[in-house]
Amino acid sequence: MLVALLTAFTARAEPIRELADFAGVRDNALVGYGLVVGLDGSGDQTMQAPFTGQGLTNMLSQLGVTVPPGTNMQLRNVAAVMVSADLPAFARPGQRLDVVVSSVGNADSLRGGTLLMTPLKGANGQTYAIAQGNVLVGGAGAEADGGSVAINQQAGGRISGGASVERRVPLELGRQGGILDLLFRESDFDTVQRAVTAINMEFGRPVASAVDGRLVRLQGPFNDNARVSFMARIENVEVTPREPAAKVVINSRTGSVVMNSRVRLRRAAVAHGNLSIVIDTQYQVSQPNPLGRGETVVVPDSEVAVQQEDAYLRVVEGASLAEVVDALNALGATPQDLMSILEALKAAGALRAELEII
């Protein structure tokens, strides 16, 4: 029995890297405004997107080309775009980043275009990377004689390795007396306490202490090399998280109903039936006599039928997920009906689960 229990414990355990992250070790969002050139007549219409012409004029002036004021450049091979990227933690100057290019004007397609040098800035307004390169567009389309066909969308694309890091984000781990903070992705006191116990058992001394239901404070070494080994060892510690609470998630837009294995049903009686109203209209022609002075008119003939399915009072009860599903399926309910039934069961106190509607 002891061997079986230890095997079950190990099978459900997860490394801490799957449950938590070290404070400060995160990605940073970058964004920039740029121009894509070289389009085959599928760029912005500058009359409807004046910012494209303004951006091109500013860029040309920086390159020593002066555009006379008031010049109306009718260009269709240029498109204004927003460029976004994620700057990972510990990124150093010279490393390459993937970027996403999205049109902000009325360009038909970015296929075949080249993104010109675009500074990518962080939330503090400083430039951390420079993006440039050929845009790869996954969509395709064709148009002829007023008809068109499109596969996916063509107003956006990607550049693999299209940005070069120019500045690193300062991040000093453990500089305050070797203290490291471990942030769990979900707040749970039980899981945090289990993690503290497992970490202290791994090191054989108290190096971890719980601050709240999400934060564990660690006493790490002062040396950088030793700190990296310490953090790697922490990430590999196995912890068994507490099982999640019983929960049912309902998507009201798609009719999807998802429930976890802890959902239970107390004994309850449910009656559910559908009412359908069918209106059938047939049009008939009223033809007057040949010698009469009447007019030919179309007369609608409508028939209204009301049908109501039989609703029987059924007892539902379930101690496991399979029993819950079988009990609800026995009612013959559609996903839309199931949402109404679950809400009623929750209101009656028979559904032992949290009900979330998204």
Which residues, 6 or more positions from 16, have their beta carbon under 8 angstroms from its beta carbon? 182, 195, 199, 234, 235, 236, 237, 239
Chain-centroid distance, C-alpha 115: 27
pLDDT at 34: 92
Segments making up each domain of the chain, as ranges:
2-24+172-239, 28-165, 247-274+308-357
Whether 187 and 219 have beta carbons less than 8 Å apart is answered as: no
pLDDT in tens, the chain (358 residues): 333 333 333 447 888 888 898 988 888 999 999 999 988 888 777 666 777 777 777 787 777 787 777 666 777 888 899 999 999 988 999 999 999 999 998 888 888 899 999 999 999 999 999 999 999 987 555 555 555 555 667 888 999 999 999 998 888 777 677 889 999 988 889 899 999 999 999 999 999 999 988 899 999 888 888 888 999 999 999 988 887 778 888 777 777 778 787 777 777 776 666 544 444 556 666 666 666 666 766 666 655 454 455 555 555 565 565 666 666 666 666 667 777 777 777 787 777 788 887 7
DSSP state of 112: T
Phi, psi of 169 (to 5 degrees): -85, 120
Query: Which class in CATH covers the domain with range 2-24+172-239?
Result: alpha beta
Return the axis-axis angle of helices 321-329 and 335-348, rounded to nearest 10°: 120
Identify the CA nearest to 283 among candidates 296, 268, 274, 265.
296
DSSP letter string, 165-203: E-SPPP--TTTTTTEEEEEESS--HHHHHHHHHHHHHHH
pLDDT at 275: 44
